[in-house]
Amino acid sequence: MTRLLIISLTAYFIGSIPFSILITRIITGQDVRTRGSGHAGATNTMRIAGWGAGVLVLILDIGKGALAIWLADVFGRGFIEPAIFRSAAASLVVVGHCWPVLASFRGGMGMATAGGALLYTWPFGFVLGVGLAAAAQLAVRHSARGNILTGVLVGPLWMLFGGGWPRVGVALAVGVVVAIRAVSDWGREYRELWFDR
């Protein structure tokens, strides 16, 4: 139980590293959350600090998710149900990104960090998740509602394609957090599908 708590807290603090805020501030001197969508993520970094900065943030945010699952694997090794360690780390690294203690609990939407957890867990499942996210965005033409749809369906999709319980547990864990986070933007009006102002 102590080890699970340590892994969970570590995952949360990894998720809380606000790469978008740090990189945008270094490049522009601004807080990324004061412009654009107001979210601390790769897309808003692209709007404010340019494509290069946004891609760097995207890679780092994906890395946060993957690192959390790797740590869960390393420190959860030898336990009867390692899937619990993975699922806890997956959900809390995304929680950390969305509500970071290191940035006044105002973070991003969690999609990249969730993607990193999914990519490390099951690369094919990650591809399925990206396809699902793209289809959801095109179907509803609203980023937040598309994220909710993706979050709700990614676990069942993995199950349908034979992901198995340890993998599906991670997909369900990150999916729930992503969906909950996106509810706050349910009524938001977007001028463009991805790059709203």
User: What does the pLDDT average to over 66-70?
Assistant: 97
pLDDT of residue 79: 66
The dihedral through the CA atoms of 5, 10, 118, 33 has a sign that is positive
User: Amino acid identity of 66?
Assistant: A
User: What does the pLDDT average to over 154-170?
Assistant: 95
If one compares 134 and 75, the residue with the highest pLDDT of the two is 134
pLDDT of residue 191: 53
196 pLDDT tier (thresholds 50, 70, 90): very low
pTM over 0.85: yes
Model confidence at 80: pLDDT above 70: no
User: What does the pLDDT average to over 33-49?
Assistant: 93
Comparing 14-28, 134-148, 166-180, 181-195, the range with the smallest average pLDDT is 181-195
If one compares 68 and 2, the residue with the highest pLDDT of the two is 68
Rounded-to-integer distance, Cα 140 and Cα 120, Å: 28
Mean pLDDT taken over the chain: 92
165 pLDDT tier (thresholds 50, 70, 90): confident
For 85, 86, 112, 155, 175, the CA distances from 166, given in Å and listed in that order, are 10, 8, 21, 11, 14
114 pLDDT tier (thresholds 50, 70, 90): very high
Residues 6+ apart with CB under 8 A from 195: 43, 46, 47
Model confidence at 30: pLDDT above 90: yes
8 pLDDT tier (thresholds 50, 70, 90): very high
Model confidence at 193: pLDDT above 50: no
Model confidence at 156: pLDDT above 60: yes
The tokens for 17 are 């590293």
